[in-house]
Structure 1
Amino acid sequence: MEKCIQCGADYIPRRRGVQKFCSDTCRSRHWQLKQGIPKKKKKKPLKKKKHSLQKYQKEKITFAGISNAAIGQTAVDLIKNIATPESKKPATKGDINELKSLIKGNLLPIKNMENNAFGKSPFYDVTNQIVIFI
């Protein structure tokens, strides 16, 4: 009988006197200690969770959530407004009404003249004093 160098347990050698440890575990642990490698902690087995109703509960709407969403949307709109050049922005109803008022102020429709070959109506441009088709 021999004594294990690592744990001190008695064992019967299976390799004719060259065996110094009772098991491979003791042999590898002895080598790790010699190298200065710390002992690994055993991982605890995961607990099986019981079926909980928390998975199926609906999230509640809170004031904080609503305010965070509003702040985020405002930030996105602001960045979009700053990053988009004026020529690429869409026209609003106000822009279209302003154009209509400009056209009505300077252009007068000609009622006794027919539309041109493309179906455009004739107008008299007051500032340039010419007839144009729009």
Structure 2
Amino acid sequence: MKETKYYTCKYCFKEFEPKRRRIQKYCSNSCRSSAYQQRKAIQNNTKDNLPKLTDSDVPQAPHKEKISVAGVGNAALGVIAVNTAKSILTPLKNRPATKGDIDLIIEKLGGRYHLVSNMPPNIHGEYPYYDMQQGILVYFKAP
């Protein structure tokens, strides 16, 4: 027994049995053509109803300002003012460390290698030292 599936025409809304393998939208070529003409008429009507643009309606490109000596001077003064306020209002202990600060810490610790006192010596009797420049742990004989 063959089961037939009926479709509904998108133009005239009648049920029909498809004649092709693919899904059909319309029952006949005349409905297909009429639906196209209807879509085309709707598109033409919307184009005619659009308002016409004049030169004053078209947005203009923004005006680019040129670099001037006064502008550069104002920017420089602004940067100086912000940096001065930052240095005055930031406490000394909260300021970021510089390379000079790190070098000073290394000098106070006694040079590049710092003895790690909470670790025992290895099996060769060498003591652990932290290398401040490489950031690694090295072992040396006791002085």
Tell me the TM-score range normalised by the shorter chain: 0.3 to 0.5
TM-score (norm 2): 0.38
Instruction: Point out the structure with max Rg over C-alpha.
Output: 1
